[in-house]
Amino acid sequence: MSEQTIESILHEQRTFPPAANFAANAHIKSMADYKALCDRAAKDPEGFWGELAETELDWFQKWENVLDWQPPVAKWFEGGKTNVSYNCLDRHLTTWRKNKAALIWEGEPGDSRTLTYAQLHREVCQMANVIKQFGVKKGDVVGIYMPMIPEAAIAMLACARIGAVHSVVFGGFSAEALRDRLNAAEAKLVITADGGFRKDKVITLKDQVDKALADDAAPSVENVLVVRRIEKDTHMEEGRDHWWHEVRQGISAHCPAEPMDSEDILFILYTSGSTGKPKGVVHTTAGYNLYAHVTTKWTFDLKDTDIFWCTADVGWITGHSYIVYGPLSNGATTVMYEGVPRPSNPGCFWDVVEQYGVTIFYTAPTAIRAFIKAGDKHPNARDLSSLRILGTVGEPINPKAWMWYYQVIGGERCPVVDTWWQTETGGFMITPLPGATPTKPGSATLPFPGIQADVLDLDGNEIPANQGGYLVVKHPWPGMMRTVYGDFNRFRRSYWEHIAPKDGQYFYFAGDGARKDEDGYFWIMGRVDDVINVSGHRLGTMEIESALVSHPAVAEAAVVGKPDEIKGESIVAFVMLEEDYEAGDDLDKALKQHVVEEIGAIARPGEIRFSDDLPKTRSGKIMRRILRSLAAGEEISGDTSTLQDRSVLDKLRER
Ligand code: PRX
């Protein structure tokens, strides 16, 4: 976060209590209600979550034990059997919701589709049967690499239905990144599309899949299921690749949901950490389902009349929990949009809100800042009166952007819910409840009922109000990740031992700094590890560095984030070249393109600075703190006594 943002947040005093008429109709109507829920959950967490599991989910077999906690291993609802696809679809079919719109989809070229619960169920069953025909069994991993089309959600639900584990890879990732993720999870099947539409361009996803699988580089993959989207000639490998519209012919739309154990894996989702290798975050069936369900219901005060739109991509956790699983488990109408705002169409989001009468809108600060820049005329020219709640996620929101969102988009009528959470947490952790919590611009406010969050120092001691520290969670919750796929030690090390366990008490820590104010409100200060947040996308600096050094010209690279007015942070790479190479525009371009090929366009460095040397400690560690200051054009403050060669600083500054 920039100094300016921190400064404005530190002095933010405004509060916005919920309007009386909103509160009166909300699921959670007052701070007294909120506190009663928190007290109940603190005194009897198992009773609290057990009761919710009973009332909010359907079960084939009831659990025996709500929680078994052997830190850091949590088992929720053991002995129980349920199915997420059943909770998202089948149970609504016996109610009036059968013919309610489950999914409203708006395509980038302007095409659209609405699927009722009955229709979505049919599609999911058919795809589940096709997946089974490829020999995929319970516990097998299926890679999903899709544009934002209904089949992305259908594929996820189809996997969940038969107990296959899905691993969705964001469609903007490169062939290289896709291959790594398919190999790490040993995916047996890949579900993809010939392509999709992104920012006025056609992206040919299937070509990337072909590249990822070329030369048997992902040997576990036996079949590829391809959805037709762009109507272009597409190479289909005989025996391996199958068109969805062809293989579904004659396939039954009857496929009972497989009873799954509560702790069976539902999905893996790879995310960046502070090392070069992305982590496969593992979420399991019942706990995740319950947590996505309850957080959607309470934080968005979800009602049957709502049209709920989360603008994320299904390739990220936000899309998993708040486009697919949370809304559908609640029987809501969820909107999926293939487009993203771009200079040629800065009002496209507001068109969607107006056209479908969206009532709950959930997006990222980076998008809000881009809208501010594009001008009020775009939202002002549309009818946004259907909106009743606005949400934000992904990065700290500066008070100026919060106020604009509240005033210009929400007409000072809609509560703004700033939701802090992570891939690892499965759902919201710190968030207002819109009928109860007075909001403060820039603060994610208070923990969700049942979540014991705090700000501590490295030894597990509480930090006084208004001082920065590490944001931790002190008690397990149903939506928490269970492990890093294939690497339990990494899970323990990265999340549960960073803050020293104290008297048998373990603290979950996943990389954010925060402060609590005198009212106990949380103000997220951003990552404190080597993870940067570019336009709400989480990227490990070491991943980008590894991509750079895999280019023959690069001897060494160090990547840092630099404050950016729109994106939150932009990527600056300091690069030392091998002897035979010369710095210049061509190499600058080539290296940026190389990162795009290795990871994807989201990781393209905004700036490359060529350098003969990098600031290192005497033990050879790159001093990123110094590089961050240099990138931001700030004076270098703090201790530089451990620097091996002080003249490096002057050289880097001269540039
Ligand atoms: O730094 C925090 C930031 O996003 C990180 C999690 O990224 P990811 O796992 O990709 O999930 C993004 C969507 C949940 C966090 O460690 N972050 C997320 N939400 C907020 C946030 N920072 C500040 N305020 C938020 N509301």
Q: What is the pLDDT of residues 385-420, one digit of tens each?
A: 999 999 999 999 999 999 999 999 999 999 999 999
**418 Cβ inside 6 Å of ligand 1:** yes
**How many angstroms does the Cα of residue 511 sit away from the middle of ligand 1?**
10
A 10 A CB-CB count for 303 gives: 16
Q: Any idea which residue has 């996308």 for tokens? A: 537
CA–CA separation, 511 and 514 (whole Å) = 10
**302 Cβ inside 6 Å of ligand 1:** no
Using a pLDDT cut of 90, give the percent of the chain over it.
87
Q: Among candidates 410, 409, 428, 427, which has minimal Cα distance to 419?
A: 428
Q: Among candidates 262, 203, 224, 62, which has minimal Cα distance to 601?
A: 203
**How many angstroms does the Cα of residue 402 sit away from the middle of ligand 1?**
16
pLDDT of 492 reads 95
C-alpha 220: how far from chain center: 26
At 165, the pLDDT band (50, 70, 90 cuts) reads very high
At 479, the pLDDT band (50, 70, 90 cuts) reads very high
Q: Among candidates 451, 148, 431, which has minimal Cα distance to 297?
A: 431
Using a pLDDT cut of 70, give the percent of the chain over it.
98
Residues 6+ apart with CB under 8 A from 320: 156, 168, 267, 269, 292, 314
Q: Among candidates 651, 510, 631, 437, which has minimal Cα distance to 2?
A: 631
At 15, the pLDDT band (50, 70, 90 cuts) reads very high
Backbone angles phi, psi at 353, to 5 degrees: -60, -45
Q: Does 424 score more than 90 pLDDT?
A: yes
CA–CA separation, 550 and 151 (whole Å) = 35
**How many angstroms does the Cα of residue 421 sit away from the middle of ligand 1?**
5
Residue nearest to atom 8 of ligand 1 (CA): 422
Residue nearest to atom 12 of ligand 1 (CA): 394
**How many angstroms does the Cα of residue 273 sit away from the middle of ligand 1?**
13
* Mean pLDDT, all residues of the chain: 95
**423 Cβ inside 6 Å of ligand 1:** yes
At 639, the pLDDT band (50, 70, 90 cuts) reads confident
Backbone angles phi, psi at 123, to 5 degrees: -60, -45
Q: Any idea which residue has 């944001």 for tokens? A: 471
CA–CA separation, 497 and 491 (whole Å) = 9
Q: Among candidates 328, 309, 255, which has minimal Cα distance to 97?
A: 328
* Residue 209 and residue 190 in contact, taking contact as beta carbons nearer than 8 Å: yes
**393 Cβ inside 6 Å of ligand 1:** yes
**How many angstroms does the Cα of residue 423 sit away from the middle of ligand 1?**
8
* Helix runs in 363-428, H state only: 365-374, 377-380, 399-404
Ligand 1, residue 537: give the atom nearest the CA: 10
* DSSP character at residue 536: T
CA–CA separation, 225 and 241 (whole Å) = 6
Residues 6+ apart with CB under 8 A from 579: none
**How many angstroms does the Cα of residue 562 sit away from the middle of ligand 1?**
17
CA–CA separation, 404 and 384 (whole Å) = 14
Q: Among candidates 557, 553, 647, which has minimal Cα distance to 607?
A: 557
CA–CA separation, 449 and 42 (whole Å) = 9
Give the burial class of 626: count Cβ atoms within 10 A of its Cβ; 0-12 exposed, 13-18 middle, 19 or more buried.
buried
**354 Cβ inside 6 Å of ligand 1:** no
A 10 A CB-CB count for 412 gives: 10
* Residue 450 and residue 51 in contact, taking contact as beta carbons nearer than 8 Å: no
Top-ranked range on mean pLDDT: pick from 9-13, 258-262, 612-616: 258-262
